[in-house]
Amino acid sequence: MSSIRKFIVCGSMLPLLLALPVPVLADEGGLDAANTAWILTSTALVLFMTLPGLALFYGGLVRSKNVLTVLMQCFAIAGAASLLWFLLGYGLAFGDGGSANAIIGSGKWLLSGIGKEAMSGSIPETVFLMFQMTFAIITPALIIGGFAERTRFSAVMLFSALWLLVVYAPVCHWVWGGGWLFDMGLLDFAGGTVVHITAGVAALVAAMVIGNRKGFGTTAMPPHNMTMTMMGAGMLWVGWFGFNAGSALAANGDAGMALLVTHLSASAGAITWLTIEWIRYGKPSVLGAVTGMVAGLGTITPASGFVGPGGAVVIGTLAGFICFFATLTLKQKLKIDDSLDVFPVHGVGGILGTFLAGVFASDALGVFSGHGYNEGMTMASQVKVQVIGIVATFAYTAVVTWVLLKLTDLLIGLRVTAEQETEGLDIVLHNESGYDIR
């Protein structure tokens, strides 16, 4: 084609080219399209962790007569937590608390003043609050594993609603909403204290208050469908990338490193747990592999934005080892029926990971180095802050959870009858059966 002809053709297409939309990159202090796209994706991934991930993971672990009950609880909590986040939760966690800002947020009730133009950093505030909503959904859903197969549905819903507003939202504000632990410099990238310690401790307290399942310790209660549990575990592993890497709130190197260390820790946790089983019992189990994977994920969560690959492998390995023996201790020695091992996996993992974030964030550990501490912080001072965060979150959650459980029991009752527990909660509470086998 001659130069003149090329000029004519290109000139005739110029109006069409000018009419095409032009990709918008980050303006100075404005919306960043890449960051927004990544957090939109991460939001979907975190919700995917609960529905269907956690629902299937927990559903397969209970007995067949209770499978629908667990699925229903996860599903209903997702809806209720979303509405509560709209009404009060987001304001309590991320609102400006005025003189009480160190303790609790206020304002933004019913998401007032948050339109499509409102910004949170370089992303729309609607995207930020929706991302945070998915954390508020999965945290109370995790707790149901502590009292599975024996609790009334009405009690689960009332307790979960109160707990979200009175425990989760304040702790979230302390750590991420500009509260007192935020001001101290606590390292909790994606929820070691906010999600895993709160959920784990609440599950432990609930298991103790509600009591053990009928036949616990004398009757075998194996998972009814490990295929379902394995599918749910795979969804949790994938969804956790949104959980941790999304917490960078940007499509950048921090997100990339968080994704990498998350995967390495999960892998180390799974291999460590199944190896221990292989040595102790002669056979590695699928249940052990998926539980170790979840332990690795939960333990790396608070540290995922601050440590490097070497530190992540150590953290995941320790998670598999320590959480394994914590599970045995709770059930076999202390005789506490935390049905689906929420405290020994999430609670102990959250404590361990929050503590180790203060260690492996150091930039002076060679191949195990992390991103380094904030100015003025040393390993000793950072670990001190981490311990304060762990103790405060543990104590507050334990006391308030106990009060809420007692209140729920007083108002509507916590536990089904022994006869109902024997029959199965699917039929008793929902008049449905998970498996219609003719």
Tokens describing residue 33:
């399209």
- Contacts of residue 380, defined as CB under 8 A and 6 or more positions apart, other chains included, come to none
Reported as a single tens digit per residue, the pLDDT across 256-286 is: 999 999 999 999 999 999 999 999 999 999 9
Nearest to 264 by CA among 286, 237, 236, 229: 237
Mean pLDDT of 173-192: 97
State residue 135's pLDDT score: 98
Class of domain 32-430: mainly alpha
- Contacts of residue 354, defined as CB under 8 A and 6 or more positions apart, other chains included, come to 187, 188, 192, 193, 197, 302, 303, 386, 389, 390
Interatomic CA distance for residues 400 and 264, integer angstroms? 35
- Is residue 139 scored above 60 in pLDDT? yes
Mean pLDDT of 309-319: 98
State residue 18's pLDDT score: 37
Interatomic CA distance for residues 437 and 434, integer angstroms? 9
State residue 28's pLDDT score: 44
Domain coordinates of the chain in residue numbers? 32-430
- Is residue 5 scored above 70 in pLDDT? no
Entry field: residues in the chain: 438
Separation in Å, CA 39 to CA 42, 170, 192, 413: 5, 23, 20, 40
Reported as a single tens digit per residue, the pLDDT across 85-124 is: 999 999 999 998 777 789 999 999 999 999 999 999 999 9
Residue 387 CB-density burial (10 A; 0-12 exposed, 13-18 middle, 19+ buried)? middle
State the DSSP code for 66.
G
Name the β-bridge partners of 124. 119
State residue 100's pLDDT score: 78
Mean pLDDT of all residues in the chain?
Answer: 93
Q: How confident is the model at residue 438 (pLDDT cuts 50, 70, 90)?
A: low
State residue 97's pLDDT score: 76
